[in-house]
A and B are shown apart, each in its own frame.
Chain A
Amino acid sequence: EAQVTQNPRYLITVTGKKLTVTCSQNMNHEYMSWYRQDPGLGLRQIYYSMNVEVTDKGDVPEGYKVSRKEKRNFPLILESPSPNQTSLYFCASSHGTGDYGYTFGSGTRLTVV
């Protein structure tokens, strides 16, 4: 089944404790991206990657890092999480930036206390 898999689904952590949210896709998509979803603000892009070793900032990149060492994986790293990063995170992939066919993961609900 074609899908984007995120882990974990739920995570509660403390301020400053580094964490990684994993994202993997099995559709051989070149493009992958991370979004956060907050009430009243909708989905906002954090980082995106056009292909292996090619990443760029989205609209809200502060406090996040990403890497794209393999085509299928695009982990999101929070090196020193803060409470304002409490949010619902989604990973998505597609064949290209202008492609309409984005596939989303099921989401990771992160709480930073």
Chain B
Amino acid sequence: QKEVEQDPGPLSVPEGAIVSLNCTYSNSAFQYFMWYRQYSRKGPELLMYTYSSGNKEDGRFTAQVDKSSKYISLFIRDSQPSDSATYLCAMTLSGLVFGTGTRLLVSP
């Protein structure tokens, strides 16, 4: 079993939809929980991070962590075609441990 599980998708939605991306993890020692966005042929870029259980909002993005269930989510409101990318959840231990990434396609 992988330490971090993430559905690879692809997830296809129409423009304006609310998108929900999720990861589960098995190691309760993870400290920070992050979401990275990766466009094709580019390196991952940090989108959001959180440390504790609960919600964190930044514009159209909301990151949610439930440590008791070992479950994290990223919600994207009013999705745009420019949001089309692969979204990677990641957690810190001695370095980053990544999920496999979910490919998101937002159609106009």
- Among A42, A48, A103, A106, the most chain B Cβ lie within 10 Å of the Cβ of A42
Interface: A74 (CB within 8 A): no
Give B92's nearest chain A residue, CB to CB.
A98
Known contacts: A42-B100, A43-B98, A100-B34. The answer to whether A105 contacts B92 by CB under 8 A is no
Chain A interface residue bracket vs B: 20 to 34
Known contacts: A42-B99, A42-B100. The answer to whether A100 contacts B44 by CB under 8 A is no
Interface residues of A in 84-112 (CB under 8 A from B): 90, 92, 97-107
- Fill in one digit per residue for A47-88: 1 if any B CB lies within 8 Å of its CB, else 0: 010000000101000000000000000000000000000000
Interface: B8 (CB within 8 A): yes
Q: For residue B81, give the distance in angstroms from its CB to the closest CB of chain A.
A: 22
Interface residues of A in 27-59 (CB under 8 A from B): 33, 35, 40-45, 48, 56, 58
Which residues does chain A contribute within 8 Å of B6, judged by CB atoms? 42
Say yes or no: B95 contacts A101, CB within 8 Å: no
Give A102's nearest chain B residue, CB to CB.
B96
Say yes or no: B100 contacts A100, CB within 8 Å: no
Say yes or no: A97 contacts B43, CB within 8 Å: no
Count chain B residues whose beta carbon lies closer than 8 angstroms to a beta carbon of A: 25
Known contacts: A92-B96, A97-B95. The answer to whether A42 contacts B46 by CB under 8 A is no
Say yes or no: B46 contacts A101, CB within 8 Å: yes
From B43, B88, B93, contact of A42 by CB (8 A):
B88
Q: For residue A6, give the distance in angstroms from its CB to the closest CB of chain B.
A: 8
Which residues does chain B contribute within 8 Å of A100, judged by CB atoms? 32, 34, 46, 49, 51, 92
Give Cα A56 to B96, complex, Å: 14
What are 8 A-B pairs at a CB distance below 8 A? A40-B8, A42-B88, A42-B101, A45-B96, A48-B94, A98-B32, A105-B43, A106-B41
- With A35-B98, A97-B92, A100-B49 known, 12 other A-B pairs at CB within 8 A are A42-B101, A43-B96, A45-B96, A56-B94, A58-B95, A97-B93, A98-B32, A99-B32, A100-B51, A101-B49, A102-B46, A102-B96
